[in-house]
Each structure stands twice: as structure tokens, then as C-alpha cells.
Amino acid sequence: MAKPTATETLRTPDTLASAPKPYHRLGLSGWSERAFLAILVFVFVITGFVPGWRHLNSDFPNYYLIARLYREGYPLERVYEWTWLQRQKDHRGIDQPLVSFIPSTLPSALMVMPWSSLPPLAAKRWWLVTNLGMLLLTGALLTMITTLNSRRIALLMFLATIPLRDSFLYGQMHIWVLFLFTFAAYLYFRDSFFLSGIVLAIAATMKIYPALFLIFFVFKKQWRAALGLVAGLSSAAVISIYLFGRNACLLYMQEILPRALRGETIDPYNVAWNSLTALLRRLLIAEPELNPTPVSHAPALYAFLHPLIHGFIFVIFMWAIGSKSGEPGRRKLEWAAYLFLLLLLSSQPGPYHFVVLILAAILAFDYFVANQQTIAAGSLVAMYALICGPMVRLPQVQATGWSNLFFFQRLTLMLLLGGVLLWVLIELSPDSLASRVNVRTWMLSTSVLIALVVIGFSSNMRHLNGQFDNYKSRVVTIPASLMASDPAFTSQGLLFTGMTRGGYAIRRLSGGAVEDFIEGRGNWFHPAGAEHTDGGWAEQSSGAGSRTVRFSSDASTQELTSMTIEIEHSEQPVLSPDGELLVFIRAINGRGSLWVGKMGNAHAEGRAAEHEVAGATYDVREATIAPDHRIIFSARSQGRFALYMAEQTGGIQEMSAPSCSARYPAISHDAQWIAFSCEDHGSWQLYMMSLRTREEWQLTNTDCNSISPAWTPDAKHIVYATDCGRGLGLTALTELTVFP
């Protein structure tokens, strides 16, 4: 009796677990495979697991911090604010230079909750052990899904050297996403379609892109799987609102997710992303600090090519996959191809994202070998290993102009691997090529592509409109600078908060030159002062909490020995124009209360007398003070932000205008005007208003954020922070002339 082929062993779901595992030989003997596997495991342990076990590194502290804040009862709607989150990290003594939660989902932090009561490194070690267990479970599932033996599966898994290394080194959660993808595939191949959709919905709460399998299910007319995915996503939304609150969830949906889908989060021009989106940005969109030398600054061309290239790849892959449900072996290849497609079209995939390529590679390899596609199988393994290996950097080649192409090696390899998958999908299709290439199919595919391009182009043009106008009025340009915020005009010149590799520092612009004015011993935020006062103030954040520190005006670069601690337990200081009052925020369980200190009536210890103006029930965010000592502050009221006025004689009242959800107030030095930002369809726009007539003027109107205004001493210009043309929240300083 003839031995059944690998394809025949996959004809029914029941044979998935009991099918014999043919030993496919592609040039490696058993002992050489074991030796190679031992080397790969050794490399993983030495470069990934052990260093990850010993150090926090960059990503795990982000999840750990959010989980800890949630356990401590903090509201989580501010976790996407760069400096606020950095401050919380400092207060908990987490030894990590920079933290950020953009663009992660709130439920993703729950994965770390069981260990959030432990010290950070101890929590990470438990997390790594859990990830190792998930990796083993994934391998076990793959032995049930495929006809490969466990050694072959382990070899292919550990060929993902850089993705596995980075996942454990940084404490990422993509191992969990890989496991959930694999479990969903296992259920799908066993015809448990509804449960497969549910599992993918769980994965989508951690990383958004598994939700895009809804397109695959609808295209394949797998309605039970689509229903399971929709039901899972709906349940996850309800649970998220219950756990994190409506405000935090709406903020993510309106402000974070749209920019994340466009690839505008952490430095969208960084070649490390190695995506089509990043490449097009590097070539066609200029940014004075992050991408000063593209091939050409052509936003309209970018707006057209971006949907055209992505749409073409998507349409041709979906055409090759086909809408019919094929035999079990081909279903594996289709699952692998669609998962690969999601990675290829991702806007900002880090190396650790390619952990899920393990599943796609193993499913495709199993199918290739079962169908005796030896060349395709060998090509897949070679390109997969290169994609998951270290990228080669050419010496003395800079990422400028057309030279940017040399820095997108992973993308090039992904496109080549995509070509192999397309060739096999078409070559081994149960339908003939002639039957699939007909007028109806051609017309349908062309119509879909045209629709994608038209919708994408119009959306991109609307989004990019006006985003680059601020370039010509930038106050300061620092090469490769990721953030400049909180501008303040003082006797020292223009001071602002700047992000450095080691954290946040106070930088000074004076005489056209920029220097790190205050740095070290914690993070420094929100400088304050007045043009005619001696010295200035800033917030110093450390493990002991935040405090307001005063610095002198006689040193070019401040040393900590020349500073005076003015007020303990205080954030975001603001000085009155006459230098008599210092307004600051004091946080209580994550909610801000407003305080004022009188500089001319200090305690015997030399610290300012202080009293509370508005309690934590207001949840104060920012404040400004007028020459007559009236204080205007922003606070949350019934799910939106409003401006309030506090008089020195006592009493607080909500201002009748503006009517928008408003933050970041700043009063001009002549007390005639107030600048602020209004929330408008997921972005913050700059406005100004007459304090006498309450008449308003909108100053910016772009699909990005313009915040933290500061008036120049002559009250004719506003310097503000904007992330237009940049990553979400990673602002640069620009000047706007209000009165010529």
C-alpha cells in the first residue's frame, strides 16, 4: 500500500493531531540539524535571554509602569503624554532613561499586572519566564498543525534570531501575539471558526493588527470566524471602558490610533522601521530635524504613492489567495500569506514584530515541502533567515536622498519573500490561471485598487494639508531632536524642555545658540521665569518626587550646586510677570491640585509660603497667571476640559468662553489676550481670545497638535509646540506672529 502524501494527511481536521510527521530532508542530516539548533539556541540565550534577565532595557518598563499605575488606582487617560509618564516613572524609581506608551493599547498593560507589585527587574524576570513558556506552547501547537517534526520547527523558530533576541531583551509581548496567532490558526484549521475569531480578538487587544483578519474572513466568506472576531472585539471594547474609563478609551481611539495607523508615532522617519511608509517618508517628505535631506519634499506625491503601492500589494495578494476555501494544506498557505501581508504593509514594524513571521514561515515551509516545491522552500528559509538576521550597514553611507534605499534591506527581503509566496499561491492554485484572469476579476480588482487609491489619496491630502507650514517659522532646529516643548521667556533667554538620550533637560536658546542649560540628577521639565526677574525655576523629577528648583542667572550652564530647592512636591511651575507669585500643580493619586506660593513672604527655611487654590477634584492640568495675579487653569469637567479663573480674593468660576474642550492656557504680558488649545476631532488646535470681549480666533487648523503656547514679552508673537510633520507628541517649537 502506498504511503499517503503530506497533503493527503491534511484532508480532515481530525488528522491534524494524528497525522504522521514525514522527515523532510533538504540537505541537512539529523546531527547537523541538532548542532545548528544548539548554536541558534546558544546565540538566543547569550544575546537575548541573559541580557534581558539582567537589565530592564527599553520596552518592558513601559508596560510595567502602566500596570503599576492601574494597580495604584491612577486614571490612565494621561499615559500617552510623554512628560507626564516620564514623571511617573521617576517617582517610582524605575531605572530607565526614557519611557513611552505610544502607540500601545491599554489592555496590553494588563498582561504584566500579576507582577506589577514586584520591583521592575523581578517583574521582568517573571515576564521572561512566562514568555519562554508561551514560546514552548507555540512550538507544541505547530507540531500539531504541520507535518514537521519538533526539531525542524525549533530550527525555524530560532532562525528568527533578531526578533527573538529583541523580544526577550526588551521584554516585549510579541511572543504572546505569536502564540495567540498560532492558537487561532490551530482552531481555524480544525473548523472552530468562531473560537478562532475570538482568539484573534484577544490578540488585537494587545496589538491592533490581528483585528485586520476580519478582512480575510469576510473575503473568504468565513462568517462564523468574522462573527467571532467582531464579538470578541466588541466585548474587549466594553471591558476596556469598564476597566479604564470612557475618557481613556476615547482618547486612544480619537488621538492615538489614527496617528499610529499612519505611522506617525515614534519618529516616523526612522529607517529602523524598514517599512514602505517609512521609505516613502524618507524619500518624499522633509522635516528640518528628523529628515532634512529627502530626495524631494513632495507631500502630494507621497499622498498618491502611499495608497497606490499599498493598495496594489494588497489587491494582488488577495487575488492570489482567492475567495474560495481550498483543501486544508492550501488553507495553511493562505493563512501564512495573509499574516505575511499584514507585516509587509505595517507602517512601523520593529524587529520584534517579526516574531509572528515564525508562524507564517513555518506554515508556508510545511506547504512547500509537502508539495515538493524544494526551490521555493529553500528560498523561503534563506530569505526568512536574512529578514530575521542583523541588517548590514554600509560604511560611510548616510541616510540622505536616494542613499536611503541602502537602509531598507529588510523591506527589500520582505518584498522578495512576498514574490515567492505569490508565485506559489498562483502556481499551486486549484483553479487555472486562465480561469482566474478574466474580465470580471480584472474589473473587480481594478475597481478595488482605484477605490483604495482615491480614498487613500484624499485622506492623505486632507491629513497633510498645512502640516509643513510651520517649518519656515521654527524657533530652533536641533539635528535629530525628538522633542522640544514648554517654551518660557525668562531673563536667561528662551528656555524649553528638550528630550535627550538620557532623559529630559532644560535647554536654552540665546543669541541663536542652543545649549543644555540644566541636566542630570533626574529629569527636568517646564522652565518658568519672567523677563525682568533674577534667575528662573524648573521642575526636577526624581525618585523622591517632583520639586520646584530655582537657578541663578550668572552661570552659562547650571550646576546643581548653584540651585535652590524652592518648593517640594510640586510640578509645572509658572511665575507671575512681576516675580511675586509661583503657581504650581501638586498631584494626588494622579489628579492635579493647584497651589500658589508667594515669593516675597518666605518661610524661615527660605522656601515660599504656599496655599491651595483648587483641589484635586478639579484634576488641574495647566495654569497661567496674569499681571494682576488672576490665575487661569485648565481642568476636566464632565468628560471635557474647561478653563477656570481663580481670583486672589478667593472663589473659582468656569469661564463662559471658550466653548471648546480647552487646555494649555497662556496669558499675554499685557493681560489683554489668552492663548490656549482646543480639541478638534482628535487633534489640538491653537486659539487666542480677548479677555475683555471674549472674542476668539483660531490660529492653526491642521490634523496634528499645536499646544503649550507662550507669549513673547512684546505680546505680538506666540511660541508654541507642534508635532505637525513629526511623531505624535514629539513636538518642535515654532513661532506665530499674531500682531505684526
Q: What is the pLDDT of residues 382-426, one digit of tens each?
A: 999 999 999 988 888 899 999 999 999 999 999 999 999 999 999
Q: Is the pLDDT of residue 303 over 50?
A: yes
Q: What is the pLDDT of residue 19?
A: 43
State the angle between helix axes of 357-370 and 120-145 in degrees (0 to 180), rounded to the nearest 10.
20
Q: Look at residues 426, 460, 494 and tell me which one is the last residue of a structural domain.
A: 460
pLDDT recorded at residue 600: 58
Find the mean pLDDT for residues 203-219. 96
pLDDT over 90 (residue 428):
no
724 falls within a domain: yes
Q: Which of 10-14, 104-108, 195-199, 432-436 has the lowest mean pLDDT?
A: 10-14
Is the pLDDT at 603 greater than 70? The verdict is: no
Confidence band for 637, pLDDT divided at 50, 70 and 90: confident
**Mean pLDDT (whole number) for 243-265:** 94
Q: Residue 6: pLDDT above 50?
A: no
Judging by DSSP bridges, how do beta strands 673-680 and 662-667 pair with one another? Answer: antiparallel
Which of the two residues, 721 and 396, has the higher pLDDT score? 721
* Residue 671: other Cβ atoms inside 10 A: 15
Across the range 593-604, mean pLDDT stands at: 72
395: DSSP letter: T
Kindly state whether residue 400 falls inside one of the protein's structural domains. Answer: yes
Task: Give a yes or no: residue 284 inside a domain.
Answer: yes
Cell 543669541 found at: 511
pLDDT bin (cut points 50, 70, 90) of residue 22 is very low
| Mean per-residue pLDDT, 107-118 | 94
* Mean pLDDT, all residues of the chain: 91
pLDDT band at 338 (very low <50, low <70, confident <90, very high): very high
pLDDT of amino acid 382: 96
Count of C-beta atoms within a 10 Å radius of residue 480:
10
Whole-angstrom Cα distance, residue 173 to residue 111? 8
Residue 523 lies inside a defined structural domain of this protein: no
- What is the reported pLDDT for 432? 75
Range from 211-225, 592-606, 627-641, 645-659 carrying the lowest mean pLDDT: 592-606
Q: Is 413 left (phi over 0), alpha (psi -120 to 50) or beta?
A: alpha
For residue 560, what pLDDT band results from cuts at 50, 70 and 90? low
Q: Which residues pair with 508 in a beta bridge?
A: 495, 515
What is the edge-to-edge ordering of all strands in the sheet holding 503-510?
484-490, 493-500, 503-510, 513-518
Report the pLDDT value the prediction gives residue 455, as an integer from 0 to 100: 97
Number of domains in the chain: 2
What mean pLDDT comes out for the span 163-172? 96
Give the residues across from 546 on adjacent strands.
541
Position 703 pLDDT exceeds 50 = yes
Share of the chain above pLDDT 70, in %: 93
Residue 76 within a domain: no
Say if CB 131 and CB 172 are below 8 A apart: no
Residue 21, Cβ neighbours under 10 Å: how many? 15
Is 689 or 15 the better-scoring residue by pLDDT? 689
User: Residue 622 domain-assigned?
Assistant: no
Flag whether pLDDT at 161 surpasses 70: yes
54 within some domain: no
> Residue 176: what residue type?
W
Q: Which of residues 460, 488, 522 is at a domain's end?
A: 460
pLDDT of residue 518: 82
User: Which range among 58-62, 370-374, 597-601 shows the weakest confidence by mean pLDDT?
Assistant: 597-601
Q: What is the mean pLDDT of residues 106-121?
A: 95
Q: Is the pLDDT of residue 609 over 60?
A: yes
Whether residue 418 contacts residue 340, with contact meaning beta carbons closer than 8 Å, is answered with yes
More confident of the two residues 609 and 628:
628
Q: How many CB atoms lie within 10 A of CB 471?
A: 17
**Residues 494-542: pLDDT tens digits?**
999 999 989 999 999 987 889 888 878 889 999 998 877 777 899 999 9
Q: Is 605 part of a structural domain of the chain? A: no
pLDDT one-digit tens code per residue, 705-719: 999 999 999 999 999
Higher local confidence (pLDDT), 433 or 61: 61
* Listed range (294-303, 379-388, 532-541, 593-602) with the worst mean pLDDT: 593-602
Confidence tier at 561 by pLDDT (50, 70, 90): low
The answer to whether the beta carbons of residues 508 and 494 sit under 8 Å apart is yes
Q: What is the pLDDT of residue 16?
A: 40
Q: Is the per-residue pLDDT at 622 higher than 70? A: yes
Q: In what order do the strands lie in the sheet with 545-551?
A: 523-528, 536-542, 545-551, 563-568
Residue 24 has a pLDDT of 44
How far apart CA 737 and CA 740 sit, in angstroms, is 6
Q: Which domain holds residue 707?
A: 665-740
Q: Is this model's pTM higher than 0.85 or not? A: yes
pLDDT score of 516: 85
Residue 505, all three cell numbers: 533637560
The pLDDT value recorded for residue 639 is 78
Q: What pLDDT sits at residue 607? A: 55
Which of left, alpha, beta for 399 (phi over 0: left; psi -120 to 50: alpha)?
A: beta
Euclidean distance between CA atoms 317 and 689, whole angstroms: 53
d(Cα 421, Cα 302) in Å, to the nearest integer?
27
- Asked if 591 and 614 touch (Cβ cutoff 8 Å), the reply is no
Question: CA 26, CA 33: separation in Å to the nearest integer?
Answer: 11
Phi-psi region of 171 (alpha: psi -120 to 50; beta: other; left: phi over 0): left
Last residue of a domain, one of 415, 432, 460: 460
Per-residue pLDDT at 285 exceeds 70: yes
